[in-house]
């Protein structure tokens, strides 16, 4: 199997486990999909395309991701809700032995406690990955969302 | 529907002469909303429309709103700022469709009516008809028509506009104490780090009440308390302008700064008590040199300037119908920031915005009120923390600035 195909299969599996973790509310497991000093950033396409660095969530390293989850669990106040992610087949831009660059489209439906559901976020994951097979991790995951207007608040990672 | 307030339509049923009771129907009554668009947003108040740097060069323009009215701000050939309604005088279509751009003139796509950078009508397609047949009557004069202008002023790199000459001069409108606190933060050229747009399921006034209400900060936002970061329990106060509508609340870091015994190694040791896995989030510097680590400032009706540690932002609060609001954040650094300072501001940006550790709750709480007051009839809120008046106070456990907002709003509405 060529490197790109291997990378695609590994990322497909990683994406599937990633969205399962978030959608089933096992948030404590979320930082484990990243390398220790990984970047996780949610940024609007508007900012991204203008070269503006501001993100909605901007974690530098797994420790900051853990803080996000602690705050979500114990500090922040919000109405109960969950996500359902739909992700596309990844497009592998480049696959080297030790690093992979890839993009995956996503849509997130947010389901509120009263049963109402809305298309909450859609866009692209722009990823840089290290490791192969089941050891693949995000060294960088940029969540670039197209619908720049965020409804009410964002507290669960995308 | 009458919007001039000349009869009872849209009148607010105030239970008291003072502002300690605000009737809930004020947040979901469509007639109040229509009257408010006319009397407040098109009335004698200055409204933030954009940053001067967003329309820096000749012909650069930005689309925005004053209340619900679409407005374009543009820099003309001489460097002056103009603003006018984004509505063609012919059939009412939007003239500018993009968020921003650069133009030598504006042309409505519908029938090609063309305007200069001051909004004056310059040409009408087929004005003389075709081969002498059709076209406008000779009595039609271009100079009788223009996009409806607003008066524009710039202060500290912020652009404000008003439809009404009775708004007076901008600095008089803001008042000296609040102007000084605006200058304190916007004391040098800024750099835009990015934008957030947040959509709230509540009337715009509920968000303004939330921003003006310093009492809720330590109660609703539990981030600092949970992580035992007792930074907000320090001294502070609320300054309310003479008109009531503008305010600044501030808190001062506990007096750990500048003392020789608190060298950097001691501070780092103290961090072991933090429950934050990565305490770099709270790295900050006293960049204004006065120990004030949080300052929230509002200018009536809908402008907010925020300093939370070194996170600086302006917020434009835009009504979208009676029960929805768009909150537009422009997050700032300064031109003289080095790379480390920019990184620090970006880390601290996690505190604010739609996912901010100490602000995300504000996106939801207005909706809790909006849903809570359905069917409330003539019931009203109870706003008595810190008394019944709206004078400045040396405490943040007060709702003085909320009462001040309602005093200003009532006066403008003629209530
Ligand atoms: Fe708040």
User: pLDDT grade, residue B235 (50/70/90)?
Assistant: confident
Is B346 in contact with A64 (Cβ distance < 8 A)? no
User: Check: CATH 3.90.226.10 for B47-154?
Assistant: no
A66, A79, A149 member nearest B364 (Cβ): A79
Do A89 and A9 touch, CB atoms closer than 8 A? no
* Chain segment B272-303, per-residue pLDDT in tens: 444 789 989 989 999 999 999 999 999 999 99
Do A33 and A135 touch, CB atoms closer than 8 A? no
Is B360 in contact with A79 (Cβ distance < 8 A)? no
User: pLDDT grade, residue B258 (50/70/90)?
Assistant: very low
Provide, rounded to the nearest whole percent, the portion of chain B with pLDDT above 90: 80
Predicted pLDDT at B228? 66
Q: Does A148 touch chain B (CB under 8 A)?
A: yes
Query: How remote is the C-alpha of B292 from its chain's centroid?
Result: 22
Is A67 in contact with B222 (Cβ distance < 8 A)? no
User: ipTM of this complex > 0.95?
Assistant: yes
**3-class DSSP state for residue B23?**
strand
Q: Nearest CA of chain A to the CA of B136: how many Å? A: 43
Helix (H) or strand (E) holding A48: helix A45-49
Task: Give the pLDDT mean for B25-51.
Answer: 96
Predicted pLDDT at A128? 98
Task: Give the pLDDT mean for B103-114.
Answer: 96
What's the rounded Cα separation, in Å, for the pair B183 and B50? 17
Do B190 and B53 touch, CB atoms closer than 8 A? yes
User: pLDDT grade, residue B231 (50/70/90)?
Assistant: low
B66 Rama class: left (phi>0) / alpha (psi -120 to 50) / beta: beta
Task: Give the pLDDT mean for B163-173.
Answer: 94
Cβ pairs bridging A and B (under 8 Å): 118
**Closest chain B residue by Cα to residue A56:** B355
Q: Nearest CA of chain A to the CA of B362: how many Å? A: 9
Q: Give Cα separations from B284 to B50, B225, B310, B371 (angstroms).
A: 28, 18, 6, 38
Task: Give the pLDDT mean for B206-220.
Answer: 92
Task: Give the pLDDT mean for B308-326.
Answer: 97
Helix (H) or strand (E) holding A70: helix A62-74
**3-class DSSP state for residue B415?**
coil
What are the sequence ranges of the domains in chain B? 47-154, 177-413
Predicted pLDDT at B298? 98
What's the rounded Cα separation, in Å, for the pair A101 and B241? 54
Beta-bridged to residue B249, according to DSSP, are B238, B296
- pLDDT tens digits for chain A (158 residues)? 789 999 999 999 999 999 999 999 999 999 999 999 999 999 999 999 999 999 999 999 999 999 999 999 999 999 999 999 999 999 999 999 889 999 999 999 999 999 999 999 999 999 999 999 999 999 999 999 999 999 999 999 99
B192, B281, B355 member nearest A56 (Cβ): B355
Q: Nearest CA of chain A to the CA of B62: how many Å? A: 15
Class of domain B177-413: alpha beta
* Chain segment B379-407, per-residue pLDDT in tens: 999 999 999 999 998 888 899 999 999 99
User: pLDDT grade, residue B262 (50/70/90)?
Assistant: very low
Q: How far is the CA of B366 from the centre of ligand 1 (A)?
A: 10
Q: Nearest CA of chain B to the CA of A114: how many Å? A: 13
Beta-bridged to residue A85, according to DSSP, are A108
Is B197 in contact with A60 (Cβ distance < 8 A)? no
Query: How remote is the C-alpha of B27 from its chain's centroid?
Result: 18
What's the rounded Cα separation, in Å, for the pair A65 and B350? 11
Is A52 in contact with B276 (Cβ distance < 8 A)? no
Q: How far is the CA of B98 from the centre of ligand 1 (A)?
A: 32
User: pLDDT grade, residue B254 (50/70/90)?
Assistant: low
Q: Domains in chain A, please, with CATH?
A: 3-145 (3.10.450.50)
A53, A79, A150 member nearest B193 (Cβ): A53
Q: Shortest CA distance to B383 belongs to which of B133, B264, B212?
A: B212
Query: Could you write out the DSSP letters of every residue in B111-169?
Result: T--EE-TT-BEEE-TTTT-BTTBSS--TT--GGG-BPPEEEEEEETTEEEEES-GGG--
B201, B223, B347 member nearest A152 (Cβ): B201
Q: How far is the CA of A68 from the centre of ligand 1 (A)?
A: 18
User: Measured between beta carbons, which residues in chain B are less than 8 angstroms from residue A46?
Assistant: 195
Most confident of B94-108, B209-223, B256-270: B94-108
Predicted pLDDT at B333? 98
Does the predicted TM-score (pTM) go above 0.90?
yes
Do B152 and B73 touch, CB atoms closer than 8 A? yes
B192, B226, B355 member nearest A154 (Cβ): B355
Instruction: Specify the DSSP class assigned to residue B258.
Output: S
User: pLDDT grade, residue B229 (50/70/90)?
Assistant: low
**Closest chain A residue by Cα to residue B357:** A76
* Chain segment B18-29, per-residue pLDDT in tens: 999 999 999 999
């Amino acid at each position: 199997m060529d490197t790109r195909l291997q990378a695609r299969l590994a990322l497909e599996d990683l994406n599937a486990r990633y969205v399962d973790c978030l959608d089933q509310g096992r948030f404590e497991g979320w930082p484990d999909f990243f390398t220790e000093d990984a970047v996780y950033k949610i940024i609007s396409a508007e900012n991204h395309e203008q070269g503006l660095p501001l993100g909605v969530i901007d974690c530098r390293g797994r420790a900051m991701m853990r803080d996000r989850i602690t705050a979500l669990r114990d500090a922040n106040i919000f109405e109960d809700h969950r996500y359902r992610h739909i992700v596309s087949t990844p497009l592998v831009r480049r696959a080297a032995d030790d690093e992979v660059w890839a993009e995956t489209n996503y849509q997130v439906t947010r389901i509120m406690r009263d049963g109402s559901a809305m298309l909450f976020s859609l866009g692209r994951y722009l990823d840089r990955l290290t490791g192969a097979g089941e050891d693949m991790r995000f060294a960088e995951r940029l969540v670039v969302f197209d619908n720049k207007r965020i409804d009410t608040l964002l507290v669960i990672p995308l | 529907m009458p919007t001039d307030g000349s009869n009872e339509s849209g009148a607010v049923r105030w239970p008291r002469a003072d502002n300690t009771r605000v009737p809930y129907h004020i947040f979901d009554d469509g007639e109040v909303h229509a009257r408010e668009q006319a009397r407040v947003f098109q009335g004698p108040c200055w409204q933030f429309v954009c940053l001067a740097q967003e329309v820096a060069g000749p012909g650069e323009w930005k689309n925005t709103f004053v209340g619900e009215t679409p407005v374009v701000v543009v820099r003309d050939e001489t460097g002056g700022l103009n603003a006018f309604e984004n509505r063609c005088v012919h059939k009412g279509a939007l003239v500018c469709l993009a968020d921003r751009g650069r133009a030598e003139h504006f042309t409505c796509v519908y029938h090609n009516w063309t305007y200069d950078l001051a909004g004056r009508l310059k040409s009408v397609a087929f004005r003389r008809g075709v081969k002498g047949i059709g076209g406008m009557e000779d009595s039609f004069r271009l100079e009788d028509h223009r996009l409806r202008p607003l008066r524009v002023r710039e202060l500290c790199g912020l652009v404000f506009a008003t439809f009404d000459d009775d708004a007076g001069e901008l600095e008089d409108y803001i008042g000296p104490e609040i102007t000084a606190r605006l200058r304190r933060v916007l004391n040098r050229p800024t750099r835009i780090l990015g934008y957030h747009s947040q959509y709230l399921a509540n009337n715009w006034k509920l968000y303004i009440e939330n921003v003006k209400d310093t009492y809720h900060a330590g109660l609703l936002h539990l981030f600092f308390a949970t992580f035992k970061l007792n930074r907000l329990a320090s001294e502070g106060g609320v300054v309310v302008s003479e008109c009531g509508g503008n305010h600044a609340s501030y808190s001062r870091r506990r007096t750990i700064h500048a003392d020789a015994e608190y060298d950097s190694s001691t501070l780092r040791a103290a961090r072991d008590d933090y429950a934050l896995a990565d305490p770099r989030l709270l790295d900050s510097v006293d960049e204004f040199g006065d120990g004030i680590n949080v300052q929230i400032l509002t200018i009536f009706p809908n402008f907010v300037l925020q300093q939370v540690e070194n996170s600086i932002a302006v917020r434009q609060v835009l009504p979208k119908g009676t029960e929805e609001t768009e909150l537009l954040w422009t997050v700032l650094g300064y031109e003289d920031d080095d790379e480390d300072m920019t990184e620090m501001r970006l880390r601290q940006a996690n505190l604010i915005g739609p996912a901010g550790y100490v602000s995300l709750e504000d996106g939801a709480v207005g909706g809790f009120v909006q849903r809570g007051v359905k069917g409330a009839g003539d019931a009203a809120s109870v706003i008595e923390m810190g008394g019944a008046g709206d004078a400045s106070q040396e405490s943040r456990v007060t709702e003085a600035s909320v009462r001040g907002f309602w005093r200003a709003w009532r006066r403008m509405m003629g209530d």
